[in-house]
Amino acid sequence: DATRVNAKECEQMEVCVDGMVAEGATAEEVPPQRAIVVKPATVPVTLINVVCNVIGGGVLALPTAFHQSSMILGIILLVGMTCITVSNLMFIVLCAEHKQTFNYLTLLHNAFGDRPARIADVALVLMPFGALVAYCRVTADAMPPVMVNYFKADPDNFFASHTAWFLIGSVCFFVLSCRRSLSELLVSSIFGVATIMWAILVVVIRFFDGSYSRTHTHAEVDHELRVVYFHKDIFRTIPVITFALSVHNNAPAYYHELADRSPAKMAKTFFGAHAIIIVAYLLIAIFGLITFGPRIAEAHGNVLDAYHTDDGLMNSARLVMFIHFACVFPILQMAVRRGLNNLIFGHNDLSLRVLCAESFGIVVCATILAAVVPDIDVVLSFNGAIFGSIVVLSAPSALYLKVRPLRERPHDMKLCVVACVSIFMGVVVGTISTVITLIDVATGDDG
């Protein structure tokens, strides 16, 4: 479906190699026979792509995050962070339109120079890598009860152990990651979102069917909620939400692929996508928290762990979450691999054999770290506090203040104020969140 062009005709355009964006590449660096123009996408298609890109395994940590901040403050934080996130996405789009450059890293390098922009380079490698670690850990935690209760495996059977699923998961993830381009994973991306929507639906069903109420045969649960509660753990909530809303590195590419693109049309796309995202996030966060109350903290960032291992419907959710991670792991792994290649080689145009070797190393490292980290909420907290603060909050706003694409417009100063607030949150709140997470890990405080 793609129209082939020569390298010269690709100038001033986002360069793609075998369907995958070559970060920072120029038309001259791409062989003419491999340069393609991506078919323009409609607003609905772009909206779906954004939703697929954003919604992932981070949703499992939202009930715990809402418990840490209290439910009302959690809702306020989620809505507020979504507004800031969309603002920063539009900052990137406005700068991309102004400079006619449709690559996040290229925009940062052109605006700030190579050395300062290297910070963003590193963050764009480590942020998705942190997600890979969390996905490996959730897989190993979720699948043993599925094997025992769904497939009637003996609890002492090797295939009902965490070790087995660290190994099985890593093999599956590696095989699926041996791909050159994201275009090969389009169907799996859409299927990945469908599976996680099922997990969200099961959480809602279990709240309304009363399976975990005091009158049911399941064990009683404490329903005392933190409705409004000011506590230091609010700084554990912000990074999780930041991580769960991350899509910024792909914003210029989505804008470039939009048919008859304009910032106004892209704004409608982002607003529509985030309306869907925020509803999905609120459903799992609120109903997961209300179902268990303070005992949701015992799930350590994975709401599925709060449900009984013999819950058949929930085991179906655990099973589809493994399918979800198998679908989205390769996408995030490609982001890590591409970022590493940009840092080391300055490009991503390597042989498939080299890319597979890199994928193997990434999967092995993620699996080893997943086996030693205490909980996924720790991974997500650090990830959002350190790297999410850079990629999602600070860098897009700093880019806008540097480029000032709307300098002559009357509402430019208002946008500058929003950008300054976002940078403040990225630097100050990110630092506080990192310190508090370190203290909680050292003291064993679960919030």
Alpha-carbon distance values, 412 to 101, 266, 415, 417 (Å) = 21, 18, 5, 9
pLDDT, average across residues 402-421 = 86
Q: What is the CATH T-level fold of the domain 40-443, as seen in this structure?
A: Amino acid/polyamine transporter I (1.20.1740)
The amino acid present at 20, given as its one-letter code, is M
pLDDT in tens, 103-157: 888 899 899 988 888 888 899 889 989 989 989 998 898 899 899 888 888 888 8
- Ranges 24-28, 59-63, 100-104: which has the least confidence: 24-28
Asked if the model's pLDDT at residue 35 lies above 60, the reply is no
Alpha-carbon distance values, 171 to 106, 142, 359, 367 (Å) = 34, 17, 11, 10
Q: Are 278 and 315 in contact (CB under 8 A)?
A: no
Confidence of residue 424 (pLDDT cuts 50, 70, 90): very high
Confidence of residue 224 (pLDDT cuts 50, 70, 90): low
H helix or E strand, kind and range, residue 35 = strand 35-37
Q: Which tokens go with 157?
A: 């059977």
Rg value, the chain, Cα: 22
* pLDDT value at residue 39: 62
* pLDDT value at residue 8: 34
* pLDDT value at residue 43: 86
Tell me the percentage of the chain whose pLDDT exceeds 90: 38
Question: Of 3-7, 29-33, 207-211, which has the strongest mean pLDDT?
Answer: 207-211
Residue 326 to residue 177: CA distance in whole angstroms: 9
Asked if the model's pLDDT at residue 440 lies above 70, the reply is yes
Confidence of residue 51 (pLDDT cuts 50, 70, 90): confident
Sequence-ordered list of residues with C-beta below 8 angstroms from that of 350, at least 6 positions apart, any chain:
341, 358
Residue 14 to residue 100: CA distance in whole angstroms: 10
Confidence of residue 92 (pLDDT cuts 50, 70, 90): very high
pLDDT in tens, 282-291: 999 999 999 9
* pLDDT value at residue 185: 56
Asked if the model's pLDDT at residue 218 lies above 60, the reply is no
Q: Are 329 and 171 in contact (CB under 8 A)?
A: no
Percent helix, strand, coil in the chain (nearest 5)? Answer: 75, 0, 25
Residue 37 to residue 30: CA distance in whole angstroms: 12
Alpha-carbon distance values, 16 to 35, 102, 176, 303, 371 (Å) = 6, 12, 21, 39, 36
Confidence of residue 2 (pLDDT cuts 50, 70, 90): very low
* pLDDT value at residue 346: 73
Residue 389 to residue 387: CA distance in whole angstroms: 5
Residue 250 to residue 93: CA distance in whole angstroms: 10
Please list, residue by residue across 37-62, b when 16 or more beta carbons sit within 10 angstroms of its beta carbon and e when fewer do: bbeebebebbbbbbbbbbbbbbbbbb
**Could you tell me which of 322, 52, 367, 347 has the C-alpha nearest to residue 185?**
52
Asked if the model's pLDDT at residue 213 lies above 80, the reply is no
pLDDT in tens, 171-207: 999 988 887 655 555 666 677 778 889 999 999 999 9
If one compares 226 and 380, the residue with the highest pLDDT of the two is 380
Residues composing the chain: 447
Q: Are 229 and 73 in contact (CB under 8 A)?
A: yes
Look over the chain and give the mean of its residue pLDDT values, rounded to a whole number: 82
| Residue carrying structure tokens 């799930």 | 299
Asked if the model's pLDDT at residue 17 lies above 60, the reply is no
Tell me, rounded to whole angstroms, the distance of Cα 369 from its chain centroid.
18
* pLDDT value at residue 188: 67
pLDDT in tens, 159-173: 889 899 999 999 999
- Ranges 205-214, 232-241, 422-431: which has the least confidence: 205-214
pLDDT, average across residues 231-248 = 90
Sequence-ordered list of residues with C-beta below 8 angstroms from that of 15, at least 6 positions apart, any chain:
21, 22, 25, 26, 27, 29, 30, 35
Residue 411 to residue 405: CA distance in whole angstroms: 12
Residue 162 to residue 160: CA distance in whole angstroms: 7
If one compares 366 and 250, the residue with the highest pLDDT of the two is 366
Measured N-to-C along each axis, helices 71-99 and 263-292 cross at an angle, to the nearest 10 degrees, of 160
pLDDT in tens, 341-363: 878 887 667 788 888 999 999 99
